[in-house]
Homo-oligomer: A and B are copies of this chain.
Amino acid sequence: MSEVRAVGAAVDPDGDPDERRLAWVYLSRVVQGPCAPLSALIASVGVCEAARAVRERELPTALRGPTAARREMDSAAADVDAIERLGGRVITPDDDEWPSWRMLGLDQLDTERDREAAVPLVLWARGPLSLHTASERAVAVVGSRCSSGYGLQVASEIACDLAGRGWTIVSGAAFGIDAAAHRAALAVGGATVAVLACGVDRPYPAQHDRLLAAIADSGLVVSEYPPGISAQKHQFLARNRLIATLGDGVLVVEAGLRSGARNTVKWARRLGRPAMAVPGPVGSASSAGCHRMIRDGEAVLVTRADDVVDEAGPLRLPVTDGNPAEPGADLRGAEAEIYAALPVIGSRLPRELSQQSGLDLATVRAVLPSLELAQLVGCDSDGWFRTSRRQAS
């Protein structure tokens, strides 16, 4: 991770490490969850200055609301003590363990449209695994809480197989598919990460306290919510984005038509991660969501671990800093401008590329095919993308 700037952190640290850590923790407690305007402020002025501004209410309008309720409650030192007493830790963007390259995806989402699309401020964690190492080769396995015996069996088989090959299983510790995936990884001594929508001191669901303890024993339980925070409905949606963020892809084993797993898939697609779904008998309500996603092109059909590796395996985010073989480096003129207007992750429509590059639409449409011939860009139903995102590093 040394080659990549820590996403979420300002380029020039604006305080000593301890001061910065307390600033991150303070802000995490104040906003409790993703807050794009705060992330923007931190990126602009640094975390210590942002903490001071929040305390003293010297804030842009967008931040006054989200910080009003708890800005006077500075329990940062006590929070750090508390998580350490639990055998846990707080992971900030300053830490080596912070998976910066994973967060690149989140960093490029449109946070003006969606405040929850922000990079988390910190992650509260329990467990011996390094988050950076654990998320290096990881797949999110999620699905219905009301899973069938078929779904539990398939989730267990695929998760076992992936964990046995060194893939980390990321999930949400819920009933049904989530729990089957975690247990399968634990059973073969594999790595597994549970991402919670509440504080890591809270076993949720309560019936999974032993499962969560086992995950904290050999894997990792993480949350962006400070200890003591209970699970609220909107927090599950933000949690799903972290599950999608931490994996190379999202696999849905069973999902009803209204399953939360479809929300996780939506995040995966926004982040440019492959979304996969397992089919089942057509009469089974717990496969209806999977079938719908496959039919609508939202997820690729997979039936076994090999398929998952095929989909998620080749995804490597490009490290562009000073890389002499950076794709597109030898482009000139309109080609260079249009290539530069394409995000590292995700896709753009020709119209958007025209707006961003300032070139007219006809030029954009004429140039894209030549970039495609040069194998620098590709096109799918979401628009045009850099092919480098799919090349092995």
Listed in ascending order, the chain A residues whose CB lies under 8 Å from chain B are 150, 154, 278-283, 287-288, 291, 294-295, 300-304, 307, 350, 362, 365-366, 369-370
* Pair A154/B303 contact, Cβ less than 8 Å: no
Task: Select A307's contact among B279, B280, B295, B307, beta carbons within 8 Å.
Answer: B295
Which B residues are in CB contact (< 8 Å) with A154? 282-283
Say whether A279 contacts B291, CB under 8 Å: yes
Contacts of A300 in B (CB 8 A): 295
Give the residues in chain B near A303, CB-CB below 8 Å. 282, 288, 291, 295
**Most chain B beta-carbon contacts within 10 A, residue among A288, A300, A301, A362:** A301
Q: Report the bound CA distance from A287 to B304 in whole Å.
A: 13
Of B282, B350, B370, the residue contacting A279 (CB under 8 A) is B282
Assembly CA distance A307 to B303 (angstroms): 22
The residue on B at minimum CB distance from A278 is: B282
CB-based contact A294/B279 at 8 Å: yes
Residues of chain B with a CB closer than 8 A to A150's CB = 281
Inter-chain contact B307/A301, CB cutoff 8 Å: no
The binding surface of chain A is classed by DSSP as helix
Using A279-B280, A366-B366 as known contacts, say yes or no to A302 and B295 having CB atoms under 8 A apart.
yes
Output the residue of A302, A307, A366 with the most chain B CB within 10 A.
Answer: A366
Which residues on the B side are within 8 Å of A278 (C-beta)?
Answer: 282
**List of B residues within 8 angstroms of A279 by Cβ:** 279-280, 282, 287, 291, 294, 301
Distance (whole angstroms) from the CB of A289 to the closest CB of chain B: 12
CA distance A304 to B295 in the complex (A): 12
Picked from B283, B287, B302, B366, the residue with its CB within 8 Å of the CB of A365 is B366
> Which residues of chain B come closer than 8 Å to A365, judged between CB atoms?
366, 369-370
Instruction: Determine if A281 and B281 form an interchain contact, defined as CB atoms under 8 angstroms apart.
Output: yes
Question: Quick check: B282 and A281 within 8 Å, CB to CB?
Answer: no
Tell me the bound Cα distance from A280 to B284 in angstroms.
Answer: 10
Bound-complex Cα distance A278 to B279 (A): 9
What is the CB-to-nearest-CB distance from A155 to chain B, in angstroms, rounded to a whole number? 11
Beyond A279-B291, A294-B301, A350-B369, 14 additional contacts (C-beta under 8 Å) are A154-B282, A278-B282, A279-B279, A279-B282, A279-B301, A280-B281, A282-B304, A291-B301, A291-B303, A294-B294, A295-B302, A301-B301, A365-B366, A366-B369
- Among A280, A283, A303, A366, the one with the most B-chain Cβ atoms within 10 Å of its Cβ is A303
Chain B residue at minimum C-beta to C-beta distance from A253: B282
In the complex, 14 of the A-B residue pairs with CB atoms within 8 angstroms, ordered by the A residue number, are A278-B282, A279-B294, A280-B280, A280-B281, A281-B281, A291-B301, A294-B294, A295-B307, A301-B301, A350-B369, A362-B366, A365-B366, A365-B370, A366-B369
List the B side residues contacting A370 at CB < 8 Å.
362, 365
Taking CB atoms, residues of chain B closer than 8 Å to A283 are 154
Q: Are B301 and A295 in contact (CB under 8 A)?
A: yes
Kindly provide the distance from the CB of A382 to the nearest chain B CB, expressed in whole angstroms: 14
